[in-house]
């Protein structure tokens, strides 16, 4: 951690790391810029590790939720971990996850029938 902080000794930003370049920018624009930056870095990591699938913030969030649900983590904890304002948002997310699991199972079965 100290090595990371030492890399930015002249950081005059209100933020710990200088990933937000223009703090007066509206929140949505900042989110898009940071998301883009993170996704570019994840893409580089995937290339270095020879991961042959997209590696994005969406994939990371989806994987985290999937693992949490599989491990029996309560919806309230998953909701907080995802930063959702309400558990109903998390329930919608989990429902779409359930649908994708069923879709995947159907694909496996259909492939076996060929």
1 and 51 fall within a common domain: yes
User: In which band, very low, low, confident or very high, does the pLDDT at 79 lie, cut at 50, 70 and 90?
Assistant: very high
CA distance 58 to 71: 20
46 and 15 fall within a common domain: yes
Number of domains in the chain: 2
39 and 80 fall within a common domain: no
pLDDT tens for residues 35-49?
Answer: 899 999 999 999 999
Kindly report whether the global pTM for this prediction surpasses the value 0.75: no
Structural domain span for residue 104: 56-114
CA distance 73 to 69: 6
61 and 50 fall within a common domain: no
Decide if 86 contacts 94 (C-beta within 8 A): no
pLDDT tens for residues 14-69?
Answer: 666 666 556 566 777 777 888 899 999 999 999 999 998 888 988 888 889 988 98
Q: Spell out the alpha helix ranges (H) of 2-114.
A: 2-7, 27-48, 57-70, 75-82, 87-113
Decide if 18 contacts 8 (C-beta within 8 A): yes
pLDDT at 105: 83
């Amino acid at each position: 951690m100290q090595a990371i902080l030492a890399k930015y000794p002249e950081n005059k930003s209100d933020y710990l790391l200088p990933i937000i370049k223009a703090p007066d920018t509206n929140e949505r624009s900042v989110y898009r810029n940071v998301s883009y930056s993170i996704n570019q870095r994840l893409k580089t990591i995937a290339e270095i590790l020879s991961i042959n699938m997209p590696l994005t913030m969406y994939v990371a969030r989806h994987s985290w939720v999937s693992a949490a649900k599989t491990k029996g983590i309560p919806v309230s904890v998953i909701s907080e971990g995802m930063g959702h304002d309400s558990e109903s948002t998390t329930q919608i997310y989990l429902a779409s996850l359930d649908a994708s699991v069923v879709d995947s199972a159907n694909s496996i079965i259909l492939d076996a029938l060929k």
